[in-house]
Structure formats: C-alpha cells, structure tokens
C-alpha cells in the first residue's frame, strides 16, 4: 500500500463522515453545513481522480451555489422544523429502508470491483480528433466540439429551470423583483467586501474561461464566479435585484443559447451537420459561443439563487 | 539548497497542521459563538499562512507562488468578513447559535 | 486496491446513505439534501470510470468528465427548482409537510394566488 493510497483512504473516510453527518444530523442547518463540507472534500476526490475541471465545477456549483441556496432555504424553513419531528417513520420502515440502501450499496460496490480490465476508454479517440479544434484541454474539446449538443441542451435546461422558478411567484407579483431588499451598513464589513472582491472575482472568472482552451477551466466555472460576485453585491445592498420582467436581462439570458443555436444552424447550412464547425473557424466560433455562454450562465445562476419574485417591480 | 527548502516545507506544513488542529479543537470545545470564532481565525490566518509559506518553495514558477499568496489573501478577507458578520448576528440574537 | 476502487466504494456508500435519507427523513429539505448526495455519489462513480480510462497522455477519459460537468450543473438547477417549490408550499400551506391530510396551520395564506 503506497502512501498516496493511504491518504486517499483517509480522504474517502472523511468524505463519508460528512455524508453520514448530513443524513444523521437532527437539525437542518448542521446537515446543510455537513453537505457543503462534503462537497468541498469531494472536489479533492475529483483532483485525485485526475479531473481538475470537474473539481472546479463541484467546488463552485455543487458546494458553493447549492450551499447558498440550501442555507437560505433552511433559514426560511426554520419555523417548520419542530412540528415535523413527530412525523419520523417508525422502526419497521427505517429497517426496510436500511436493507434497501445496503442492497443498493452492495450492488454498486460489486460493480466497482468488477469493472472490466483493461478499461474501455474514449481518450484515444478524443486525442486523435483534438486537431479538429486546436484546443489543448480535452474536456473543453468534448464539451464544445464533440458533445456540443449536450452543452447547448444544458443551457436550455438551465433556462427552463429559471422559468420554472419564476412561475412560482404569486400572480400579483409576476414580473417583480426576486428576493427581499437587502440592507447592509454602508460602513460595514459586507459592503466593504462587496466593493473590494467583485473586481478581482470578475478577472478570475473571465480568466478561468479564457484559460480553459488549454488548461483546466471552463465557461461554467467562470460563470459561477461571476454569478457569485453579482450575488455578493446584491446581498450587500449595493444594488437591487432587477425585476424579472426587465428586457435587457431577458436578452442576456437568451444570448448563450441563441448564439449556440445560430452557430449550429450555420453548421447545418454551410457544413456537414448541425453544430459542425469548419476547421479553419473552429476556435473563433467556439470562443464566441463561450463568451455568450458565460454571460448567460452568470445571469442564470445568479437569478436561480435569487429565487422567484417577492416584491413589486416598482419597489 | 533544495534539501533545505524541502525541510522548510515539511516544518511549515507540520506547524500549520498543528494550528488547524488547534482551531478545530477550539471550535469543538469553546463554550459560545464568539470564542469559537476566535479559534477559527487562528486556523485561517496562521494555519493557511504557514501552509502557503511552506508550499512556496515547491511552486514551479513565480506565477505559481503569487497565485498561492493571492489565495491566502482572499481566504483571509473572506474569513474576516464572515467572522465579523457571524459575531454581529450572535450578539444580536443573544448567542443562541 | 487502487485510487479508483477506494473512491468507487466511497461513491457506493454515498448513494446508499442518500437513498436511506430520502426514504426516512420526513422533511422535504432533508430529502433534497439526500437526493443531492445520491447525485454526487453517481457522479463520483462516473469519475472512477473516467480515471480508469486514462490513456493517450490524458489523466482520465475526458468524455465522462464532460458528462459529469453537465450533470452537476443540471443537478444544481433541479435543486434550485425543488427548493423554490418547497418554499412556495411553505408559504401557501404554512407548513412544509408532504402529508396530504395535514391541516392548514395558522400562518398559511392559501387564498393568495
């Protein structure tokens, strides 16, 4: 057993401790804290598995934004916790659930141990076709060129989720501003950080997008950082959430999927197939799509965390 | 020379591990929110600072070293802000957290 | 026993824990947490498969990694929608229970559209 393997076993044990804490905790806020810690440690697991792009995504979206959502939801639902405690299921259901979970775990564990050796892989195919776009990062190649259809549909799924969240507003508040109006002491710490951090955050976010051509990074990770900076500024009260009906915001939300769709249809008209990039223009086209994507992702993720409208548009 | 740098890395990272441990013990054992925050800032400032100091000789270039220091500064900023916000909230709610 | 196997077993346990949490915990917010646990376990499983497919100079097979990135983003949007639904239920019914026969509590406003 090598030293690295021993450390990985320790890491897996700590990750599982976080998972057990999330399920077993009596109160909700500690469970959410355990889940955020679990997600951040999982990002380390991804690094050990040789996937830095996924580690960035897990840390940013899986733990960061999801954690923000869960904490604010847990805070709002705090008054409902007491009455729910009487609904705990009886012992028989718990035992049956434990048996079922153990069965699923065993089945998955057996399939892990029985994975085929040598492992089938598409890495060689990805490497052979990497010259088609000239990008150095294979994951970006896959996301933007080989499986661009998945990425485009993912953007549309994000938009659909946002429309779903917006539609949960009461009728009279349709088109209003999401979330409460935040007030922070303008001389206080939060306002200070909301002035100092966003310039740095914007540079880091755009850098992560720019460097994803050859190094780990990507539009989603960069867009998440931009969304986080926007949320920070909103939470410090330095700016108010724009009303849901604002036209410019809706145009920004559409920019990513529309550019993607136009390039795709262009590929259909001038090339071989939908989303086929001509070899000479592959990199500029991908860059154009990615810049439109990061704007849409930043606005969409920020609005998903802000939630459905809770105030009138004029307030 | 590189042997001396490796020794420095090992020493600095070990001491930072001790500070992280001290911060965690403080989080678990101190009686109320404000004292726990005090323990956590030790982990943030000293622990992470020593960790970054220990990793600086192992950075592959000047850019890597500057990135490490930037990470430490941003974590300092975030940690300090969040500690103050939690402390204000704890004082308002009578330390029920 | 390699890194892939260790993390694969970790993923299997995470999925089992999440399943247990979804079934037994009565609070919808805890169910959403447990569901996210299942999702992250499945993604880690993907990661193990990708790690075993390391070839051609890459650290791992890039196709499953790209699929997982897509999956994490979609899981986040599903969580956001689920939490928005839960908060609306709490606002309309006054309690966050999923039981059909629960009486409306004092703080609810079911008349508000």
Which residues in chain A have their CB less than 8 angstroms from residue C61's CB? Answer: 121-123, 126
Contact A304, C77 (CB under 8 A): yes
Share of chain A above pLDDT 90, in %: 57
Which of C3, C32, C94 to mutate: most A Cβ within 10 Å? C3
The sign of the dihedral angle between the CA atoms of C82, C83, C88, C91 is positive
| Residue A188 φ/ψ region, left for φ over 0, alpha for ψ in the -120 to 50 degree band, beta for the rest | beta
Beta-carbon separation of A189 and B74 below 8 A: no
Q: What are phi and psi of A310, to 5 degrees?
A: -125, -5
| A315: pLDDT strictly greater than 80 | no
Mean pLDDT in residue range C27-53:
93
Neighbours of chain C (3+ CB pairs under 8 A): A
CB atoms within 10 A of CB C67: 18
In angstroms, rounded to a whole number, what is the distance separating the alpha carbons of residues A45 and A5? 12
Domain count, chain B: 1
Residue B55: what pLDDT?
93
- Confidence (pLDDT) at A183: 84
Q: Which residues of C fall within a CB distance of 8 Å from A87?
A: 26, 97, 99
Condensed to tens digits (0 to 9), the pLDDT of residues B38-71 reads 888 877 788 999 999 999 998 888 999 999 999 9
Closest CA to A178 of A66, A34, A72: A72
pLDDT at C101 over 80: no
Q: Are C44 and A108 in contact (CB under 8 A)?
A: no
pTM score of the predicted model: 0.92
Q: Residue C92 pLDDT > 50, yes or no?
A: yes
pLDDT attached to residue C109:
55
- All residues at 6 or more sequence positions from C92 whose CB lies less than 8 Å from its CB, including other chains: C108, C109, C110, C112
pLDDT tens for each residue of A231-253: 999 999 888 899 988 899 999 99
CA angle centred on C53, ends C47 and C59, rounded to 5°: 75
- Residue B96's pLDDT is 54
pLDDT-derived band at A34 (thresholds 50, 70, 90) equals very high
Q: Which domain holds residue B60?
A: 2-92
Closest approach of chain A CAs to the CA of C54, in angstroms?
7
With 0-12 / 13-18 / 19 or more C-beta atoms within 10 angstroms meaning exposed / middle / buried, residue A311 is middle
Give the minimum alpha-carbon distance from C18 to chain A in angstroms, rounded to a whole number.
7
Tokens at A91, concatenated: 């012992």
Any idea what DSSP says for residue A277? P
* Alpha carbons C33 and B15: distance in angstroms, whole number: 36
Q: Where are the domains of chain A?
A: 1-79, 89-120, 124-315
Nearest to C108 by CA among C81, C88, C86: C88
Task: Tell me how far CA of residue A138 lies from CA of A15, A127, A207, C104, in angstroms.
Answer: 28, 7, 18, 54
Whether the pLDDT of residue A304 is over 60: the answer is yes
Phi, psi of C55 (to 5 degrees): -160, 170
Is B48 within a domain? yes
Residue C102, burial from CB neighbour count under 10 angstroms (0-12, 13-18, 19+):
middle
B10 touches chain A (CB under 8 A): no
Q: Are A144 and A286 in contact (CB under 8 A)?
A: yes
Token pair, residue C13, equals 């346990």
For B15-39, what is each residue's pLDDT tens digit?
999 999 989 899 899 998 889 998 8
Rounded to whole angstroms, the Cα distance separating C72 from C15 reads: 15
CA distance B2 to chain A (A): 22
- Residue from C70, C82, C77 nearest C22 by CA: C82
Contact A19 C17 (CB under 8 A): yes
User: Distance from B74 to chain A by nearest Cα, in Å?
Assistant: 8
Rounded to the nearest angstrom, the minimum Cα separation between A13 and chain B is 18
Looking at per-residue pLDDT, the higher value among A124 and B4 belongs to B4
Do the Cβ atoms of B84 and A189 come within 8 Å? yes
From the list C75, C34, C2, the residue with the least C-alpha distance to A112 is C2
Close Cβ partners of A205 (under 8 Å, ≥ 6 residues apart): A222, A223, A224, A225, A226, A229, A294, A298
Given 1.10.10, 1.10.3210, 1.10.287, 1.10.4030, which CATH number is that of C3-93? 1.10.287
Grade residue C111 by pLDDT with cuts at 50, 70 and 90. very low
Q: Indicate whether C57 pLDDT > 80.
A: no
Number of C-beta neighbours around residue C83 at 10 A? 25
| pLDDT given at position C113 | 52
Report percent pLDDT > 70 for chain A: 99
pLDDT at residue A193, rounded to an integer: 93
pLDDT at C108: 56
3-state class of A84 per DSSP? helix
CA distance B54 to B6: 9
Best residue in B36, B40, B81, B97 for a mutation probing chain A (most A CBs within 10 Å): B81
CA distance C64 to A115: 15
Q: Which one, of A309, A72, A307, lies nearest residue A170 by Cα? A: A309
So what's the pLDDT on residue B2?
86
CA–CA distance, B10 with A153 (Å, rounded to integer): 48
Taking CA–CA distances from A20, the nearest residue in chain C reads: C17
Residues of A in contact with B77 (CB under 8 A): 193, 196-197
Q: What average pLDDT does range A276-305 have in this prediction?
A: 90
Q: Mean pLDDT, chain A, as a whole number?
A: 90
Asked whether the beta carbons of residue C83 and residue A69 sit closer than 8 angstroms, the reply is yes
């Amino acid at each position: 057993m090598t030293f690295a393997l021993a450390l990985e076993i320790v890491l897996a044990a700590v990750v599982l401790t976080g998972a057990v804490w999330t399920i077993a905790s009596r109160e909700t806020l500690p469970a959410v804290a355990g889940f955020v810690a679990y997600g951040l440690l999982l990002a380390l697991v991804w690094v050990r598995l040789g996937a830095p792009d996924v580690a960035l995504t897990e840390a940013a979206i899986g733990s960061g934004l999801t954690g923000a959502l869960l904490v604010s939801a847990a805070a709002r639902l705090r008054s409902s916790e007491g009455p729910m405690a009487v609904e705990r299921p009886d012992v028989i259901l718990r035992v049956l659930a434990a048996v079922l979970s153990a069965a699923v775990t065993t089945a998955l564990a057996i399939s892990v141990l029985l994975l085929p050796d040598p492992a089938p892989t598409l890495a060689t195919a990805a490497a052979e076709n990497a010259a088609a776009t000239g990008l150095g990062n294979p994951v970006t190649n896959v996301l933007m060129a080989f499986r661009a259809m998945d990425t485009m549909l993912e953007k549309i799924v994000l938009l659909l989720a946002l429309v779903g969240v917006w539609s949960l507003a009461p009728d009279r508040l349709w088109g209003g501003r999401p979330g409460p109006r935040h007030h922070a002491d303008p001389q206080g710490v939060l306002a200070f950080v909301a002035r100092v951090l966003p310039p740095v955050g914007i540079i880091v976010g755009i850098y992560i997008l720019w460097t994803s051509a050859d190094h780990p990074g990507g539009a989603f990770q960069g867009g998440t950082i931009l969304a986080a900076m926007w949320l920070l500024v909103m939470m410090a009260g330095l700016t108010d959430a724009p009303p849901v009906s604002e036209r410019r915001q809706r145009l920004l939300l559409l920019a990513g999927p529309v550019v993607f769709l136009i390039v795709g249809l262009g590929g259909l008209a001038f090339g071989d197939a939908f989303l086929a990039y001509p070899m000479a223009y592959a990199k500029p086209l991908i860059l154009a799509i990615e810049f439109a994507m990061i704007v849409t992702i930043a606005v969409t993720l920020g609005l998903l965390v802000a939630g459905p409208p809770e105030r009138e548009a004029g307030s | 020379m590189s042997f001396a740098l490796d020794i420095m890395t090992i020493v600095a990272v070990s001491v930072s591990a001790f500070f992280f441990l001290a911060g965690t013990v403080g989080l678990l054992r101190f009686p109320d929110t404000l004292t726990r925050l005090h323990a956590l800032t030790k982990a943030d400032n000293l622990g992470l600072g020593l960790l970054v100091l220990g990793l600086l000789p192992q950075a592959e270039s000047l850019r890597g070293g500057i990135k490490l220091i930037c990470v430490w500064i941003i974590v300092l900023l975030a940690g300090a802000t969040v500690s103050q916000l939690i402390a204000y909230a704890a004082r308002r709610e009578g330390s029920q957290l | 026993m390699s890194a892939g196997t260790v993390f694969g077993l970790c993923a299997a346990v995470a999925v089992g824990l999440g399943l247990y949490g979804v079934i037994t915990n009565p609070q919808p917010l805890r169910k959403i947490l447990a569901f996210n646990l299942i999702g992250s376990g499945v993604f880690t499983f993907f990661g193990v498969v990708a790690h075993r497919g390391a070839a051609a100079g890459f650290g791992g097979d890039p196709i499953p990694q790209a699929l997982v990135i897509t999956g994490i983003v979609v899981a986040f949007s599903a969580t956001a929608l689920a939490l928005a639904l839960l908060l609306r239920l709490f606002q309309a019914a006054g309690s966050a229970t999923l039981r059909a026969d629960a009486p409306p509590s004092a703080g609810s406003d079911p008349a508000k559209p």
